[in-house]
Structure 1
Amino acid sequence: MKEDFLHYIWQHQYFSKLDLATTEGEPLQVLRIGYYNTDAGPDFGEALLKIAEVEWSGSVEIHLKASDWHRHQHQLDEKYDQVVLHVVWEADVPVYRIDGTLVPVLALKQRVDLSLLQTYERLQQAKDAVPCAAFWPAVPPITKTLMLERALVERLEAKGVEVLQTLQSYSNDWEQTAYYTLLRGFGFKANQQAFEELAKALPLPVVRRHQQHVLQLEALLFGQAGFLEEAQDAYATQLQQEYAFLSHKYTLTPQAMPRHRWNFLRMRPANFPTIRLAQLAAVLHQQPAFFSKVLEAQTVKQYAALFQAPVSAYWQEHYLFGKQSKGLQKSMGKSSVQNLIINVAVPLLAAYASYSDNRLYLEKAVSLLEELKEESNRITRHYEELGWQAKSAADNQAALSLYKRYCGPVNCMQCAIGNKVMKQSSSAA
């Protein structure tokens, strides 16, 4: 058993109130359970209780054993002086506040329906990827739908927080933040860290001065990425000359990345980082005010256009410097564009919704996802096996969030679906 089970029991008051009393034998009434605290300090704040004939307003702390109070050093922490009730599964020792006063204790071990504990343990010990898989068919569709919608918003808000952290590091410069987010997205999974490093090694102000010239953009990108040192053909030589001048002008050379930072392993040539860099140069050339365009775009087609620009003539026929191939795509593929909309445009919209306190941008992000095609993956297949079917990228993102936040870490007590399972178990008893 984990404390989250007792948090759930207290929050929903799923325990017998018959002759409710503290371990000291004083009658107890719960007038208000308090609000659940996810920050440091007692578990529930602003609770209202009546112990004997006195009403107490304060906090409720929850532990499996009363002795956990000492194990967590609460007797030395002034935040816990406001605790008016210590809720435990087992009251093994008395506990005291800093001033030496006894903390009232409510022991739940004999007050909780055994079926609830059995269901909880079954969820915790489940071998399925989705812990509630055995219960899934009995959960009402509306419960699952609402939980998935909640999980989607939580995922978008979390992505927005990441962007806002980047924004803070760039002194609230949204275009710089969008530039970093764009480069990070262009790394996809295999080269995300390398593109993040490139974004830091090649500042946007430098890029802005040369956005009208694709050759200079490519020289800056390939030079800072460390790809020009071994290049031999005429085009590479031209880029080397441009980069030599520009890197000296902006003092970029000491920041150039080592070649080994880039991953080519098990990749189709169309996904090589060299091709991604050429595509990025084309996008930067075509979209000089990228963040503004993200806010202004209205349709999926307009968002897709932000990431679709034909690469320069050289990269239409090469996948590496000196390696010719005429079968390459001239611009970003449809699947890759969708990936960039999901991982670049949507997080930027979610972040700006929070920053501007305007949920219309969050709604726009959700609408975008709802219009994009679903793509099955290892995680979403867990839910598909239970009969759930994704209809859009929004559904896929919701399923990813549900798994990573709740199912994967077996965080069932914070999930509406897990709560429903527990409630049905209690009702059936």
Structure 2
Amino acid sequence: MKEEFLHFLWQYKLFNKANLTSVKGGVVEVLDSGSYNTNSGPDFLNSKLKIDDQLWVGNVEIHIKSSDWYAHHHEKDKNYDAVILHVVWEHDTNVFMKNNHPLPTVELQRFVQEDVLANYRKLFLKEQRWIPCEKEIGEINSFLLNNWLERLYFERLENKSVVIKELLQKSNNDYEAVLFKLLAKNFGLKVNGAAFLELAQSFDFSVLRKVRFDEEQLLALLFGQAGFLDDEVEDSYYQQLQKEYTYLQHKHRLRAMAKHRFQFFRMRPNNFPTVRIAQLGALYNKYQSLFSSLMDVNRIEDFYNLFTIEVNEFWKTHYTFESESKKSVKRLTKSFIDLLIINTIIPLKFVYEQDRGEVNEEGLLKLIQQLHPEKNSIINKFAELKIKAKNAFKSQALLELKNNYCVNTRCLSCRIGNDLLKK
């Protein structure tokens, strides 16, 4: 039995209200269960009760056992002086207030119906499952599910915004600089994401601002900082980049990374870090203010157009500096751009709109709903449970559900879990 479950029972009055009595036999009528308090202090504030026909307004404290009152030292805490009722699962001792009168106590297990407990056991006490409600989730009311998924999606945006706000604080609210760091991380995908973020943070963005319109200097900065210009390669283009980077390194006091931070093993050539750096350089060489351009766009096709770039002639015939390959333009694919929109553009747009005090939730939903869902093991497993993600909005919400609710068995905080427990 979890105390959280007792909170849930009290909050939603899932007990026999008609015959509720205290352990001393007094009649208890719950007029208002109170406001659930997630901070320190009693569990429910401003509750309104009738105990033996006398009206009481105050706080309610909930424990598994009555003795927990003393185990938690509430008798020494002034915050608990206004408690009017002690709700417990098991009454094992009397609790006295400062006036030496016993605190009215309800032993809740005497008033909870077996079907509510059975639902609780299904979610929490059965054999290990992929998610606690995997046998029931497919039958959940679609209206309830869709509303909950919408809430979960914005929770996911809020969680992503924490990192963005930290980056903004470190860069004096320079959105263009933060966009570069976030894009760099996502250009590295899962395998090289950390290394690409390290690259973006290895120099001040003001340096990139100064060189972004000189393609050679821009690529020299990126490849040099990534450690890819430390070798001896018999190629005139490579040697010219080395020369440019030596100049930039001396001028801006730059310190290069070790190139072994970037992984090539078991990667498709189009995802090689060298190719992704060349593409990132092409993107920043093309636009003077990429952040403003992205914030003004709301249509998927316009995003695709913005990210239509071509690498320079050298990278059309190379995947690495060392060897030449068959010519290919190496444009960003729509599926790759979709990932940039999902993981970078929309979260940054959300924070930017928050800063301006005008979050357009409908617009953000409309945008994410136009994108294809991600393909991964979590989304595939939900599909097996009859919860199919038709777009990126739903797949993002399902990822939030699995990772932040199901994994931690937060069924009592989940609308799906609430619905199943109430049945």
Tell me the TM-score normalized by structure 1. 0.90
In structure 2, C-alpha distance between the alignment counterparts of 1:329 and 1:89, rounded to whole Å:
68
1:186–1:276 contact (8 Å) kept in structure 2: yes
In structure 2, C-alpha distance between the alignment counterparts of 1:75 and 1:148, rounded to whole Å:
42
Partner of 1:106 in structure 2? 106
1:38 aligns with 2:38: yes
Q: Deviations over 1:28-52 (max 9, x none)?
A: 3322222223334433333233344
Partner of 1:235 in structure 2? 237
Shift of 1:277: 0.9
Shift of 1:287: 2.6
Q: Deviations over 1:219-267 (max 9, x none)?
A: 11111112211252322221121111111111112xx222232222321
Instruction: Flag the 1:169–1:19 CA change in 2: closer, same or farther, 3 A.
Output: same
In structure 2, C-alpha distance between the alignment counterparts of 1:174 and 1:99, rounded to whole Å:
59
1:159–1:351 contact (8 Å) kept in structure 2: no
Counterpart mapping for 1:6-405 below 5 A:
6-52=6-52, 54-95=54-95, 103-124=103-124, 125-232=126-233, 233-253=235-255, 256-326=256-326, 328-360=328-360, 362-405=361-404
Shift of 1:294: 2.0
One-letter code of the match for 1:160? S
In structure 2, C-alpha distance between the alignment counterparts of 1:162 and 1:333, rounded to whole Å:
27
Q: Deviations over 1:330-366 (max 9, x none)?
A: 2212221111111110111121232222121x33222
Shift of 1:77: 4.3
One-letter code of the match for 2:314? Y
Instruction: Flag the 1:171–1:38 CA change in 2: closer, same or farther, 3 A.
Output: farther
State the secondary structure of the residue aligned to 1:410: coil
Instruction: Flag the 1:139–1:298 CA change in 2: closer, same or farther, 3 A.
Output: closer
In structure 1, C-alpha distance between the alignment counterparts of 2:21 and 2:348, rounded to whole Å:
52
Q: How many residues align?
A: 421
State the secondary structure of the residue aligned to 1:379: helix
Instruction: Flag the 1:41–1:354 CA change in 2: closer, same or farther, 3 A.
Output: farther
State the secondary structure of the residue aligned to 1:330: coil
Instruction: Flag the 1:138–1:300 CA change in 2: closer, same or farther, 3 A.
Output: closer
One-letter code of the match for 1:306? L
Tell me the TM-score normalized by structure 2. 0.91
Shift of 1:98: 8.3
> Could you list the runs of 5+ residues in structure 1 that have no partner in the other structure?
425-429
Identity across aligned pairs (percent)? Answer: 40
In structure 2, C-alpha distance between the alignment counterparts of 1:126 and 1:146, rounded to whole Å:
29
Q: Deviations over 1:133-157 (max 9, x none)?
A: 2223432222222222222222123
In structure 2, C-alpha distance between the alignment counterparts of 1:76 and 1:276, rounded to whole Å:
61
1:130–1:382 contact (8 Å) kept in structure 2: no
Shift of 1:327: 5.3
